[in-house]
Amino acid sequence: MGDIRFSAVSGIAVLGLAGILYAWRRSSRATRYPPGPTPAWLTGNLHDLPSGGNEWVQYRDLSRKHGSDVIHLDIFGSHLVVLNSVRVANDLLDHRGSIYSSRPRMVMLKELMGWDWNVVLMSYGETYWAHRRIIQQELQPRIVTSTYHPIIARECKMLLANLLRAPDHFVHHLKSLAAAEIMMISYGQQIDPEGDKYVRLAEEVRESGVGPPASHLVDLVPALKYIPEWFPGAGFKRHARWGKSLALRMRQEPYDIVKEKMAAGVAIPCLTSRLIETLPSTSDIAKDELIMNCTGAIYSAAADTTTITLTNFILAMILHPEIQHKARAEIDSVAGRDRLPDFSDRASTPFIDCIVKEVLRWKPVTPLGIPHATTENDIYLGMFIPKNTTIVPNLWAMLHDPEVYYDPEEFFPERFLPTDTRDACPDPFRVVWGFGRRICPGRHLADTSLWMTIAFLLWAFDFEKPKDARGNTIEPNVTHGNDIVSVPSEFSCQILPRSREVASLINSFDFGY
């Protein structure tokens, strides 16, 4: 009898253990992390993090190696998930935006350098929305059209004059254009094209950046933020202090000038003056700080994206003269040769629109986007994505996916025009400006500025590869940087007015507002 009772108990125990193992296995399968390299015992996947340049390509290659558009890395216990297709980015960042719309902690950039003021980097919440609502309201398409078109047109004319006068310094002129547009829109401030302090300041702020996600050890080991500056290896603390002071100057100096001019009755109407006059004081955020943060975020974001995209456009034109010729023929057929293009011409110049799209797709300014962070645990297609995971949208991989964009490495604007045998490729506009609740609120202003500038440049100038003293063509050898924004290296370009009449028209411009 005892043997029978023992056998029954043993059977129940075995069945119970089997049930537990079955449930555990089902649970582990349901909550497994996305595919990725096998982590080491202590450091996780630290040795697997892409480095040495073109990290976006290396992340794409990891995705292919592991057979998944979603890949996972564990760095000292912190989770990093990289999204390598538009489909998964839409599924998570758009459709599950309630838990995928925050930003990572970013110890170096936000806590040490003090960039938590920037709406682009703010964690999701009320403070974020207080800033975003203002920026979104002031940069909506209706206001861009009614208020900012004349500013953009005026600064594009100034760009043509500067290129006619000193074509070899085209990158400097593009920086001046970007700064001039945003300084006038945000602060009613005209810049000095010969060498403006705000252009230099914006450049310094960009150079104080800290690279792509996880590029500083303190982001992986946050306790390092507490070591003193004099400690060996603490150079990042001194760099952070320098970058913090630059960012404060960038926000405060032009804001103070607007307030001084308003007090004297000589301020040019602008975004800052309008907000000072109309924005009610809030109990949570000081009004001055709120306005400074919003205008500073617009200034810092616009300066980089405009300059880099237009530099890539010029590179594309000298590499592909046949595309340049086709675009000029279109703009000439609409605007003629005795007037500049106008915003009203956009609907009649579909190929120029395609060039704008292709420049943004070909060399995305932020190849890895701006990282998101999860605010809750999530399960996606059976893969477990924990709370506080850093989510990196690999925009470059999405925009160079051969399943979506044929011959993705080629600059080919025609891909956005349907033919009898092929549908048009998807508009990259939906990718390059981000996803979900963090999509760039300034995208309409940026798109308008890019179209106008590119149309003006194609109407006015020929862009050619330079030649050496013997008349031999010099081929450009351009690389793109590996920071959060991908800056092209310097290259030479021959820029010539298309006719004497064009030069005469440019010399006759009136630059008054």
Numbered residues of the known binding site: 440
Any alpha helices (H) in 265-320, and if so which ranges? 271-278, 287-319
Going from the C-alpha of 367 to that of each of 235, 364, 472, 484, the distances in angstroms are 27, 5, 34, 8
Q: Which two tokens stand for residue 86?
A: 């538009």
Count CB-CB contacts under 10 A for residue 56. 27
Any alpha helices (H) in 139-169, and if so which ranges? 141-143, 149-165
CA atoms within 13 A on the CB side of 154: 16
Q: Is 233 exposed, middle or buried (0-12, 13-18, 19+ CB in 10 A)?
A: exposed
User: How far apart, in whole angstroms, are the C-alpha atoms of residue 164 and residue 170?
Assistant: 10
Annotated binding site for heme: 440
Going from the C-alpha of 126 to that of each of 99, 119, 133, the distances in angstroms are 15, 11, 10
User: How far apart, in whole angstroms, are the C-alpha atoms of residue 421 and residue 434?
Assistant: 31
| All residues at 6 or more sequence positions from 465 whose CB lies less than 8 Å from its CB, including other chains | 318, 473, 474, 475, 476, 493, 494
Nearest to 485 by CA among 445, 447, 441, 432: 432
Nearest to 301 by CA among 507, 84, 139: 139
What is the DSSP pairing of strand 78-83 with strand 390-393?
parallel
Q: Which two tokens stand for residue 13?
A: 């125990």
User: How far apart, in whole angstroms, are the C-alpha atoms of residue 261 and residue 266?
Assistant: 5
